[in-house]
Structure 1
Amino acid sequence: MIDQLQQVAKRDDDLDIPFRSWKNHPAAGVDFPDLSIATSDPTLTRPIVDALASRIPAKIDVLAGLDIGGLGLAGALAYRNGLGFIDIRKVDSLRNEVMRSIMANYELGEGVVISKGARLAGRHVAIVDDCLISGGTALATARLIRRLGGHCDTALFVFDIEGMGGRERLAGGGITAEVLRSLPPTAADPAEAV
């Protein structure tokens, strides 16, 4: 088993995950890795999805894709692994007039919402997103899933940004963060940045 895990880790280290950086986003001195360069190419997307799939614990029933970068990844992973899928929306990504009209259909958490149609009680849910920064959205999602009776102790990310405290914050909330690649806070190559 340890040999298999080391092989997965080696494959992840060898995995080419192209991205471009959004300079100074979400804050000054932090560059967000935009994964759309990779996800728009199926030859690059499949290895990323396969690497994430190898990190999903066997007990997982449902994947929760975080708005917006985790939605497509979670959908692809759910289809690949025969799992359920729910979308998690960030409240600040919804316009006020939209929020007022749909709130009757959503469970509200700490800055995130889940459709009231999601049946989570007693189910094991893993969170999926493109990048772990502070861990705030993933932790709020886990708390809401737990409040609705689901079990949530795993989160999957393509990237995490070093030194932002995301892994530690999630660990403090009882969540294991599985990450394919850690990146420094700023882009190594300014030519990649936008």
Structure 2
Amino acid sequence: MTAVSPELQGLLLHRIRDVADYPKPGVMFKDITPLLADPVAFGALTEALAELCVRCGATKVVGLEARGFILAAPAAIRAGLGFVPVRKAGKLPGATLSQRYELEYGSAEIEVHAEDLTVDDHVMVIDDVLATGGTAEASLELIRRAGATVAGVAVLLELGFLSGRERLEPVLAGAPLEVLITV
């Protein structure tokens, strides 16, 4: 787990809004749009994620649909790395690799362009939230099937009570899980 300065953690937490009963009753949604709207907070987050990418030796950054795109693309640019989107099935043209996975409420499928990752790539996966870990786990499988190496996974927010870490750690195979904030 990443050591985040209390100042950065406070800046980020102060701009994450709780939305009760969204998307369904009983769920407390963590809304990052106020953070994205604040150039100081978003800039500090981008810098922190870029530093993680460099420290982990990444050569490419994968962003998970959809909010992971928003965080991963500027971090990749800041770190001087390429950005590769991992999308929901059917959203990418051309040859893709796909991975089906189970969610707490059903199943889903994600894809990546087959040619975007190579055996020479060390890939940092970035997403906004680690919840149950299903999407991140599926993305690691895609990266490895493409022949690339997983450099690590970085998330803004871990929802510790959903145990995503326990699901993800065995498939990380020694790559770090970098979490900026745990709730």
Structure 2 length normalisation: TM-score?
0.81
| CA-CA distance at 1:43 after TM superposition | 1.7
Kindly indicate whether the alpha-carbon contact (under 8 Å) linking 1:170 and 1:176 is maintained by their aligned counterparts in 2.
Answer: no
Residues in 1 aligned to 2:120 and 2:31: alpha-carbon distance in whole angstroms: 34
Whether 1:170 and 2:168 are equivalent positions in the alignment is yes
Whether 1:37 and 2:27 are equivalent positions in the alignment is no
Unaligned runs of 5+ in 2: 101-108
1:56-97 CA-partner distances (Å, limit 9, x unpaired): 234210000000011021110011010111001123xxxxxx
Unaligned runs of 5+ in 1: 92-98, 184-194
Structure 1 length normalisation: TM-score?
0.77
Kindly indicate whether the alpha-carbon contact (under 8 Å) linking 2:92 and 2:111 is maintained by their aligned counterparts in 1.
Answer: no
The amino acid that maps onto 2:28 is D
Q: Cα RMSD (Å) of the superposition?
A: 2.3
Indicate the residue corresponding to 2:130 in structure 1: 132
Question: Hey, which bits of structure 1, 4+ residues long, moved more than 4 A?
Answer: 24-28, 101-104
| CA-CA distance at 1:166 after TM superposition | 0.9
Residues in 2 aligned to 1:165 and 1:182: alpha-carbon distance in whole angstroms: 11
Indicate the residue corresponding to 2:103 in structure 1: none
Change in CA separation of 1:126 and 1:102 when aligned onto 2, cut-off 3 Å: closer
Indicate the residue corresponding to 1:116 in structure 2: 114
Indicate the residue corresponding to 1:148 in structure 2: 146
The amino acid that maps onto 1:63 is V
- Structure number with greater Rg is 1
Residues in 2 aligned to 1:165 and 1:27: alpha-carbon distance in whole angstroms: 20
Residues in 2 aligned to 1:131 and 1:58: alpha-carbon distance in whole angstroms: 19
Bigger proportion of residues as strand: 2
* Count of residues in Structure 1 that have an aligned counterpart in Structure 2: 170
Deviates more, 1:29-38 or 1:63-72: 29-38
Indicate the residue corresponding to 2:84 in structure 1: 86
| CA-CA distance at 1:53 after TM superposition | 2.5
1:98-151 CA-partner distances (Å, limit 9, x unpaired): x2x956432211221001331332310010001110110001000011011011
| Identity %, equivalent residues | 29
Kindly indicate whether the alpha-carbon contact (under 8 Å) linking 1:142 and 1:153 is maintained by their aligned counterparts in 2.
Answer: no
